[in-house]
Structure 1
C-alpha cells in the first residue's frame, strides 16, 4: 500500500479513538489503495483534551514528528500521492503541519472535517505545499463544538471564535489565497444529501464510514494510479 500512496488521519483533541478508526474504515470500504496511518498527535490521554487544544509545545513537537514522516515518505516515494485528513483539532493540525513543511516537500491535498481552526488563519503557506488544495468541510449545525465550544475554550490556533469548521474561512482569507496564486481553498459547506450517509450536520457526522467512503474518498482518488 505504501507504494500506492499515503493517507495520514489526524484525530481531534480526544486522540486515537473510534472516530478516526471509522474514517479509516470508510477509506477501506471505498477501496482506497493507499497506506492509511492514524497519527495521534496528542498525549494519548483522553482526559487532557483541553491541554491538547492549548499546548503549543505539544502541537509543535507533534508537527516535527509528522513532518519527518512526510519528508521520509516523499523521499522514498517521490511521485506517489500524500493526503492529510484531519477531524476537529486534527484539521487544524493538518493546516499547521503543511505550513511548516520544507519547500521541497509537497502533499497532494488535505481534507479538513469540522476543523477547529479560526476563520482567519492564514492558509496560504499551507496551500503552497499542496498540489490540489485544501477541502474545508463545514457545518452551521456544528454549533455546540465549533460554535460555543471554540468561542469559550478557543480554537487550536488560539482565537475565541466560531471555527472555520462551522462558518468557513473568512472572505479576507479567500482574497489572500486568490492574490497569492496558490492551490485552491475549497469550501465544502454542509449539504442535505449528506444525511443519507449518517451526517446530520453535527460534529461527528464526518466520521461515519459511509460519509468517508462516499464523499471524502473520491477526493483522494481523482488522480489515483493503481499499480
Structure 2
C-alpha cells in the first residue's frame, strides 16, 4: 500500500466518510433552525437557548447503559464520540479505559440522528438536549457520590456537546477531569463558562498535522459550533489564556505511542495509557486529598 501502514488506509477511509457526511450537512438546514436567526452564529458560552442552560433538579443516575456499574462507587467516566458516532477509534478508547477503576458510559449523541442534523449547537435542538442530558448525568452522579470523581472525554465534534454540558451544571457541581481530543470547535469558542463547570480545568489535545479534517473540512462545511474556519483541534483556542485550559500540541515523540499526528491518533492505546490515564489519576488524587482535609476538619 505505497509503504503506508494498513491503519493509515483505514484512517483515510473514515476521514472520507466524515467529509461526505459534513458536506451533506452543509446543504441541509440544521434541526430547529429558525428563519429569523442567522444560520451561522459566532459561538459563545451561551450557545444553547436559555431554557436549556442548566440542570436544576438532577435525576437519579440510570446505570442501564453503563459499563462496569459496580465501579460507580470509585469513579464515573463519560465518553462522547465525534460526528461519525461509533467507530473503531472510539471502541479503542473504551477498551483502554477499561483498565482504569471507573464505570464507563459511552454517550452516543449521534445515535438515530441523520448526518445532516448533527451539526450546530444553537440551531440544533437535539445537540442542546444531549448536552443537557450529559449535564444531568454528571449532576446525578455527584448527587449520589459527592466525593467521587467524574471524568469527561470528548472526541472531535463531541467537544461541542461536552463544553455546552459543562455550562449547564448546577451551582457547586463540577466534572473533575475534562479531556478534549482533536476538538472540532472554532478557535473563538468562549471557554469561560465551560471552565467554571470543571474542578481541575480542561486538557485539550491538538495537532497541526490534522489538516484534512480540522482545517480543510471545517473551513468548508463548518465546525460543530457553526464557524467556517480551522478548528481548535488543529490550531488551538485563541479566546482564553487561562492556566485552567491546558493545550497540548502533537509532537513527533508521540509516534512511539502509536500516534502519527492524524485526526484519529488520540485514541491509540499506548498514548491513552501514558498521557490521559495519568490526568484521570491526578484528578482522583486531588479529590481524595480534599476529601481527607474536609473529614479532618469536621473531626476537630
**Common fold by TM > 0.5:** yes
Match of residue 115 from structure 2: 49
- The residue aligned with 2:96 is 26
The answer on whether the counterparts of 2:200 and 2:283 sit within 8 Å (CA) in structure 1 is no
Aligned equivalent of 1:224, options 278, 281, 284: 284
Residue 173, structure 1, aligned to residue 233, structure 2: no
Q: Structure 2: 5+ residue runs without aligned partners?
A: 1-70, 289-300
Q: Structure 1: 5+ residue runs without aligned partners?
A: 178-182
Distance in 1 separating the partners of 2:86 and 2:137: 18
Determine the C-alpha separation between the residues in 2 that align with 1:140 and 1:223.
Answer: 28
Which residue number corresponds to residue 26 of structure 2? Answer: none
Higher radius of gyration, 1 or 2: 2
Corresponding position of 1:180: none
Say if 2:273 is the partner of 1:206.
no
State the TM-score, normalizing by the size of structure 2.
0.68
* 1:9-158 map, 5 Å: 9-28=79-98, 31-44=99-112, 48-54=114-120, 56-158=124-226
Q: Give, in whole Å, the separation in 2 of the partners of 1:224 and 1:101.
A: 20
> What is the rounded CA distance, in whole Å, between the counterparts of 1:42 and 1:20 in structure 2?
13
Per-residue displacement from partner, 1:73-122 (whole Å, max 9, x unpaired)? 01000011111100101122211111221122111121000000111111
Distance 1:192 1:144 in 2: 18
Distance 2:89 2:115 in 1: 15
Runs (4 or more) in structure 1 with deviation over 6 Å come to none
CA distance in 2, matches of 1:103, 1:145: 36
Aligned length: 214
Three-state SS of the structure 1 residue aligned to 2:200 is: strand
Q: Distance in 1 between matches of 2:237 and 2:166?
A: 17
* Residue 206 of structure 1: how far off its partner (Å): 0.7
- Secondary structure at 2:284 match in 1: coil
Q: Partner residue of 1:195?
A: 255
